[in-house]
Structure formats: structure tokens, C-alpha cells
Amino acid sequence: MNSEDIIKNILDENPSDAKFGIEAALYEKVAEALVENTPSTVERNFQIENSVPLFYEKEMSPEQKAYRELFDRILKKYGVDSPNDLEDSKKDDFFNEVEREWKKDPANDNEGPGEEGD
């Protein structure tokens, strides 16, 4: 369903078809982003929360795998499966800790295979 069909359904007061069209378009865009881009925190959380298989696992660079391990370790420390499970007041602390721990290691210098500059 394209955007014109969604708008037509809204104008025709057919909210269930409009909702279906919006959801389908959203899932399609998210799926495209997952295939085209390296996984971000938001994409990873979306996959976990919606039981989407982590099919990109074998395509990750060593640096991406190291970041993922760090991220998961800090999630475990906070006792949650996703940053979305944290109280709003704790989210900044969580992400600041991830960034601080990542920058501690000189190997994480944003250079090398898998980086945007390649």
C-alpha cells in the first residue's frame, strides 16, 4: 500500500485499512534499513522486541562485534535486555557508560576495516 492509498483510507474514514497500510510501510522501511546499514542500537532493539532474527551477525566487523559485546555487557550490568527497559533517568547514564567504556580502549579508534572512511 502506498501513501496515496493510506491517505485515501483516512479520508474515507477507514481507519483499520489506513493503520494496516502505515504499519506495512513502516515495517518495509525498517527492513530496508536493517539490510542496507550496519545495525544501530534502535534497529537491534527493534529486532529483539519483535523477535526478528539477527541475520546480520556474521557480517559484523571485529570492531562491531567488540562494541556489541560491550553494549550487551553493560545491558546485563543494568539488569535489562534493552535500553528501552530502563527508566528515562537511567538511559543517559547507560549510554554515557557505553561511550566512556568504548573510548577507554585505544583499539577503538574509528579506523580500520568496516569503518565509514573505507
Helices (H), 1-118: 3-11, 15-36, 41-49, 62-78, 88-104
On average, the pLDDT of the chain sits at 75
Provide the residue ranges of all domains of the chain, joining segments of one domain with +. Answer: 59-118
The 10s digit of each residue's pLDDT in 3-36 is 788 788 788 887 888 788 788 777 787 777 656 6
Across the chain, which has 118 residues, the per-10-residue mean pLDDT values are: 78 81 79 62 66 56 84 90 86 89 76 47
Find the angle CA(78)-CA(88)-CA(33) to the nearest 5 degrees. Answer: 85
| pTM of the predicted structure, to 2 decimals | 0.45
- As given in the structure block, the three cell numbers for residue 18 are 489506513
